[in-house]
Each structure stands twice: as C-alpha cells, then as structure tokens.
Amino acid sequence: MEKDFLEEVSELYLNHGAKNLTMDFIAKHFGISKKTLYQHYENKEILLHDVLQKHLKTIISTIEQRESCSNCPIESMLHHESCIQEMMDSRRDIFWQQIQQYYPKVAAEHYEEIYKFVADLFVKNIHKGRAMKIYREDFNEKTYLRMLLALMATYEVHPLITQKLTSLSRKEYSDEVIRMYLHSIVTEKGREILTNKIKINE
C-alpha cells in the first residue's frame, strides 16, 4: 500500500462514518480486490486502529519537534496545549462516537495509547522543570496528570462546564486549564517565568 493510503482511508471514514464504510467499498475506491486489501489488513478493526495510529503519530511528531526546540518546560506546556486538545477533540466527532459504540476494543486501545504518550510527555516535562527548580517537588505527577486530562475533557460534556454556560471557546477554555495546571505546580521562580510567558503570548 502507498504511504498516503491511510490518509485517504481516514477521509473516507470521516465522510461515511466508521460503521457505514465497508472493506468492500474501500477496495472498490482504490481499484483493488478485497483479497488484496485483506492481505494487508485482516479485518476492519485492524484498519481502523492503523488509521487512528497514523493521526496520533502525526500529532506526536509535532509535539516532539516543539519539545526539542524549547529549553523551557513552562513554554513547552503552553505550546503543547493545541496539540493535546486536538487529541482530546478527535474523540468527540461522529467518527469517534461510532468507533466507541461499534468498535469498543479499538477505542479502548486508542485511549490507552493517548494516555501513555501524554503521561510520558508530562512526566518528562515535570522532571525537567524540577531540575530547573521551577516546578514544585511536593505533588504526585500522575495524579495531577489525570486531573488535568479530566478537566480538558469536560468542555461541552460536563453540566457545570458547557458552551451554553460559559463564554469561553474550547481553545480559550483549554488555555485556562493549562495555565491553572501550571500555576498549581510552579515555584516562585517558575511563577515569574510563567507570568512573563503568558504576557508574551497575549
């Protein structure tokens, strides 16, 4: 299969839905036999998994590039917000809702892969910040990570935080969540840096 195969399949899924798009339709779209398609992908679940993985890897690559270009953990976190939110947002469209409903195993595996990457990213960020004396030592990074991800996932779904009850856009809400998280973990030295970074970004 060509490298852009998964990208085009992803577009087909977004246009037709995870439930309605069949392996037969995909084979006809690419002008190949079903036998050829099944030689590469044993079933629809494996193909869906690879489509989701490709999207996730693209986001991860962007985050890792930004991470390598920044020496300041606080700055990295402020810049990672958009990519992290994209990972969270991808779960809310119709395509993802159908995967959750009809392919729960694929959805569960994707959730786990997102969490593992974000957890590793945050822990490395925290260790770097602590070494620079800009993050506190007295908090559990895994607990804070789960709290942060839970907050980011509440927009439009939690009765106390919905677009109907707040004037904030999803991006504005996510920005505030990241800033609240950073304010909760920085030292006095880190707070000065955070305040300056926020002023620069505004």
Could you tell me the residue ranges of all domains in the chain?
5-201
CA gap 38, 19 in Å, rounded: 18
* Confidence band, pLDDT 50/70/90 cuts, at residue 166: low
CATH number of 5-201: 1.10.357.10
Q: Confidence band (pLDDT; 50, 70, 90) for 91?
A: very low
Lowest mean pLDDT among 1-10, 62-71, 83-92, 145-154: 83-92
Average pLDDT over residues 45-60: 90
pTM: 0.74
Contacts of residue 118, Cβ cutoff 8 Å, sequence gap at least 6? 84, 87, 145, 149
